[in-house]
């Protein structure tokens, strides 16, 4: 009997492609991307050339047609280098999830596909948790104190069970920011702006938020992984009192806790992604995964800095950036409080025995096939 939890050849290749791109194109320019509040055109061209800009776009619309598991795997690799750049590079972002859940291919073709024909165009999603949103089905009033973008060509507003889409009539006023600087940062205002599409569907909104939260959690997971790995490597090289600081018990235990927290977050994120791909209810599992990753970020972000001591606050090392990114990603779309509310609203799904989950079901099938 054998249990197979490997990703498989195709997904492993996708992970390698994303990791290679991040290491080759994003890593050498992380400070420059923060200074310019965006990524270079050549980096964007490379991102598009390998198809990462159309990862979840259905193949019927010219996309790769890959699912939620592929998205969280790619996001973890990009987030491990620069989550702000990952947001800046993705022209569709989480707006794709909302439009897909509310209108499928027809709505994606009508509203999102035109953006892919315009270099640098970008869709932006905001939710009712992000700020003050009002108006009716045809007009929008909004005041969002911060969004991770300097400009947007399409605004998608997900509030309660209602979706509204705008092409114009909103303004982004750039702000200096701490985290996600490569994505930009601005205060968003809309005053009696015209809505070009509106729909009401509570179930679609819940499914969209599940996918949005997995997008957010997987970027944050990448940050936590890299912070943990960097702090661990530093602790093995930095010598104090005659031995590497990582060999001192207190610090060694802290590093073990960091690695364990990353592993737990990864399992929950991938489990929720698999539920979505198998057509299961992932609203509570996705919210729970985000809660777990944000909780982990509250210890891993500061600890990554503390392991390096005074060096942790200097830009000579990236852990100060990781700590900033943790805070910014944790606050998006209502952060941990909104996620806890949604997870608590469906405890039955969270209590589903693990052997009934898509991940365990896949392993059980493999075991049965391999049994003598």
Domains of the chain: 203-370 (1.20.140.10)
CA dihedral 164, 170, 171, 175 (to 10 degrees): -10
pTM: 0.92
pLDDT of residue 5: 60
pLDDT tens by residue, the chain, 372 residues: 344 567 889 999 999 999 999 999 999 999 999 999 999 999 999 999 999 999 999 999 999 999 999 999 999 999 999 999 999 999 999 999 999 999 999 999 999 999 999 999 999 999 999 999 999 999 999 999 999 999 999 999 999 999 999 999 999 999 998 899 999 999 999 999 999 999 999 999 999 999 999 999 999 999 999 999 999 999 998 888 888 888 888 899 999 999 999 999 999 999 999 999 988 889 999 999 999 999 999 999 999 999 989 888 888 899 999 999 999 999 999 999 999 999 998 777 776 654 444 444 444 444 444 444
- What would the pLDDT profile of 132-171 be if each residue is shown by its tens digit? 999 999 999 999 999 999 999 999 999 999 999 999 999 9
- What would the pLDDT profile of 167-180 be if each residue is shown by its tens digit? 999 999 999 988 99
């Amino acid at each position: 009997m054998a249990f197979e939890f490997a990703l498989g050849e195709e997904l492993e290749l996708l992970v390698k492609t994303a990791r290679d791109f991040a290491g080759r194109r994003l890593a050498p320019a992380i400070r420059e991307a923060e200074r310019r509040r965006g990524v270079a055109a050549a980096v964007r061209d490379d991102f598009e050339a390998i198809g990462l800009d159309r990862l979840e776009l259905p193949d019927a619309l010219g996309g790769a047609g890959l699912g939620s598991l592929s998205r969280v795997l790619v996001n973890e690799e990009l987030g491990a280098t620069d989550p702000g750049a990952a947001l800046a590079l993705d022209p569709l972002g989480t707006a794709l999830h909302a439009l897909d859940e509310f209108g499928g291919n027809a709505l994606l073709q009508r509203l999102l596909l035109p953006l892919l024909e315009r270099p640098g165009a970008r869709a932006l999603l905001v939710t009712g948790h992000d700020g003050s949103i009002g108006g009716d089905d045809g007009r929008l009033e909004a005041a969002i104190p911060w969004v991770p973008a300097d400009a947007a060509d399409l605004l998608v507003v997900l509030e309660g069970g209602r979706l509204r889409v705008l092409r114009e009539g909103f303004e982004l006023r750039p702000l200096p920011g701490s985290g996600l600087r490569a994505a930009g940062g601005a205060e968003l205002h809309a005053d009696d702006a015209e809505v070009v599409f509106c729909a009401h569907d509570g179930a679609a909104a819940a499914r969209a938020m599940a996918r949005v939260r997995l997008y957010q959690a997987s970027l944050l997971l990448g940050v936590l992984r890299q912070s943990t790995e960097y702090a661990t490597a530093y602790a093995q090289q930095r010598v104090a009192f005659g031995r590497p600081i990582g060999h001192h018990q207190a610090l060694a235990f802290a590093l073990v806790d960091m690695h364990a927290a990353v592993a737990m977050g990864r399992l929950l994120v991938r489990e929720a992604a698999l539920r979505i791909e198998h057509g299961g209810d992932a609203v509570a599992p996705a919210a729970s995964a985000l809660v777990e990753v944000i909780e982990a970020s509250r210890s891993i972000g500061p600890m990554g800095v503390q392991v390096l001591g005074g060096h942790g606050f200097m830009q000579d090392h990236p852990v100060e950036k990781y700590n900033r990114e943790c805070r910014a990603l944790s606050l998006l779309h209502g952060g941990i409080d909104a996620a806890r509310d949604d997870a608590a609203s469906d405890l039955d799904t969270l209590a589903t025995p693990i052997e009934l989950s898509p991940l365990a079901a896949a392993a059980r099938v493999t075991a049965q096939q391999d049994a003598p």
